Each structure stands twice: as C-alpha cells, then as structure tokens.
C-alpha cells in the first residue's frame, strides 16, 4: 500500500481471508486475496489512517477489521 511516496507493508491474516470468503481447494488464499483485494486495501487504509500500525510501520488486517469495514 502506498502512503504518499512511502510504501507501507500490509499483512492479511488467514483468518481475515477465511472470514471474507470460506475457501475450497479451488479458491485458496491467494485467489481470495486477489478477488477481494479492494476491500482488503480499504480495511488496511482505514487502519493506517487511524494510526493502527505495528512498530515496523506495517498494517495487519484481521477478520475483525473486515467486520468493522462492513458496518
């Protein structure tokens, strides 16, 4: 994710990917990430704007973050 000219590392937990779409063998984590990338990026951006970043500067998107974004 970009924040101005800076690149921000974003980590998406397996639980978040499971929550956004329960997978099958044909629809693994990478496929779910690609399918829902926009929503995942929106959740990451919202966390970043709220200052919810790790010491390293990374943003970790968890299942609860997706639920917050949907409400």
Question: 6-64, pLDDT tens digit by residue?
Answer: 888 999 999 999 888 876 666 789 989 999 999 999 999 999 999 999 999 999 999 99
What's this model's pTM, rounded to 2 decimal places? 0.83
> Is residue 9 in a domain?
yes
> Is residue 66 in a domain?
no
**Residues whose CB falls within 8 Å of the CB of residue 58, separated by 6 or more in sequence, listed in order:** 8, 9, 10, 11
* Residue ranges making up the domain that contains 48: 2-60
> Is residue 26 in a domain?
yes
Contact predicate 61/41, CB 8 Å: no
- Structurally, the chain folds into a number of domains equal to 1
> Is residue 67 in a domain?
no
> Is residue 46 in a domain?
yes
């Amino acid at each position: 994710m970009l924040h101005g000219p800076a690149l921000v590392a974003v980590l998406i937990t397996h639980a978040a990917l499971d929550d956004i779409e329960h997978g099958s063998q044909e629809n693994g984590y990478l496929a779910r990430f690609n399918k829902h990338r926009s929503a995942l990026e929106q959740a990451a951006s919202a966390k970043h704007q709220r200052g919810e970043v790790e010491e390293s500067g990374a943003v970790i998107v968890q299942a609860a973050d997706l639920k917050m974004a949907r409400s």
